Amino acid sequence: MAFQGVLSNKMAMALVALGLLVAAAAASGNFNKDFDITWGDGRAQIPSSGQLLTLSLDKTSGSGFRSKKQYLFGKIDMQLKLVPGNSAGTVTAYYLSSLGSAHDEIDFEFLGNLSGDPYTLHTNVFTQGKGNREQQFHLWFDPTKDFHTYSILWNPQSIIFSVDGTPIREFKNLESKGVAFPKSQAMWIYSSLWNADDWATRGGLVKTDWTQAPFTASYRGFNDEQACVGSSGSSSCSSSSGDKSWLSQSLDATGQQRIKWVQKNYMIYNYCADTKRFSQGFPPECSLS
């Protein structure tokens, strides 16, 4: 067991080093060109260069933004540096979503915690308005000390969530088995920083300490170069030129090994293992994926 722990620590250190290289090398979009600030009354800021965006939360309000474009399939990268210190009660959400009661959605949510305690990375996938597919993780680094890259690869075969290039979760297209998969609704990119102390930290037991406000999360390095603009069920994938290998990309042997390592060492909740919640039987994708 001690030997396994050494291996796990070495793997984590190697992935942190790789992650910092990924963050340093990532292409950087322009937030003025790519996004609109949608709420917050001045609490969201984009400096004149457009290379950085910050969201802030105080007792009066949080803040948020949305992409100018909609996407129908793509690989989307964003670098985030999360709220430092006592972030208990706060949630930094970064996700893709369409609109309406039958919307599709692909979620990263970062649940804050007391100083020194780890963030919880919460992931979910909604199809046709139905979610309840939560998987949660701790991270192998402190996400408040530096920028790290959080990526969503969404193609007709699967959705892969990655952190610094390391896959942590895959949701496969199992439509042939009767499981809905998001493939026809174009989605915007959204992000927000808001107060959720009724549930975010230890089920709502730990409340937001407003003496620590304002809370601030920072963004840079947005990259949608491998993504297709979409609307009304159509996608630019069919007409655009360039490398489209990501459209058929899946996890290779190394990716499968890494996702198993993350889920063994850092997953803290998996809906497919929650027998109390699904006492009448797990959702079908749990036994098929």
Residues 6 or more apart whose CB falls under 8 angstroms from that of 11 comprise 261
Catalytic residue among 105, 134, 170, 285: 105
Contact 149, 143 (CB under 8 A): no
Contact 39, 63 (CB under 8 A): yes
- Please name which of 153, 141, 160 lies closest in space to residue 17, comparing C-alpha atoms: 141
168: its two tokens? 């942590």
Helix, strand, or coil here: 279?
Answer: coil
Catalytic residue among 109, 134, 175, 225: 109
Number of H helices, E strands in the chain: 4, 14
- Please name which of 162, 141, 172, 137 lies closest in space to residue 255, comparing C-alpha atoms: 162
Respond yes or no on whether the N-terminal peptide bond of residue 214 is cis (omega within 30° of 0): yes
248: its two tokens? 């058929």
Tell me if residue 109 is catalytic: yes
Contact 10, 140 (CB under 8 A): no
Helix, strand, or coil here: 20?
Answer: helix
- Please name which of 117, 64, 116, 120 lies closest in space to residue 95, comparing C-alpha atoms: 64
Cα of 64 vs its chain's centroid, Å: 15
30: its two tokens? 């322009």
Q: Which residues are registered as beta bridge partners of 136?
A: 122, 269
- Active site residue ranges: 105, 109
